């Protein structure tokens, strides 16, 4: 999956909620299915939800968090490359 398709996928499929501390900030979260969790680092494995076989990613929009989304995209691309997670692309049509 290329970067543009991934960004569109994340924006279309994430869950959003407004921040309690700052109403100008929106929190975004997405759960992606684990493929090979053993390939992940010890630090990143704390985001695994093994019961559901998913890994969570989150970012914020609004306020001063302009790099948060791009950082999340980088992490997901890296995890896809290592085989930690998998994303099923929808067929066009």
In a domain, 87, yes or no: no
| Helix/strand/coil percentages in the chain, nearest 5 | 35, 25, 40
Please give the model's pTM, rounded to 2 decimal places: 0.83
Contacts by residues 17-23 (CB-CB < 8 Å, ≥ 24 positions apart)? 19/60, 19/62, 22/62, 22/63
Q: For the chain, what is the domain count?
A: 1
In this structure, is residue 91 part of a structural domain? no
Tell me, yes or no, whether 35 lies in a domain: yes
Does the structure show a pLDDT above 60 at 21? yes
* Residue 13 binned pLDDT confidence (cut-offs 50, 70, 90): very high
pLDDT at res. 7: 93
Query: Residue 64 sits in which domain range?
Result: 3-82
Could you tell me if residue 64 is inside a domain?
Answer: yes
**Top-confidence residue, 66 or 6:** 6
């Amino acid at each position: 999956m290329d970067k543009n398709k991934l960004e569109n996928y994340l924006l279309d499929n994430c869950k959003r909620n407004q921040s309690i501390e700052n109403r100008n900030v929106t929190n975004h979260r997405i759960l992606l299915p684990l493929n090979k969790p053993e390939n992940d680092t010890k630090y990143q494995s704390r985001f695994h939800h093994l019961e559901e076989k998913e890994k969570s990613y989150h970012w914020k929009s609004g306020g001063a968090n302009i790099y948060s989304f791009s950082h999340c995209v980088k992490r997901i691309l890296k995890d896809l490359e290592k085989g930690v997670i998998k994303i099923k692309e929808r067929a066009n049509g």
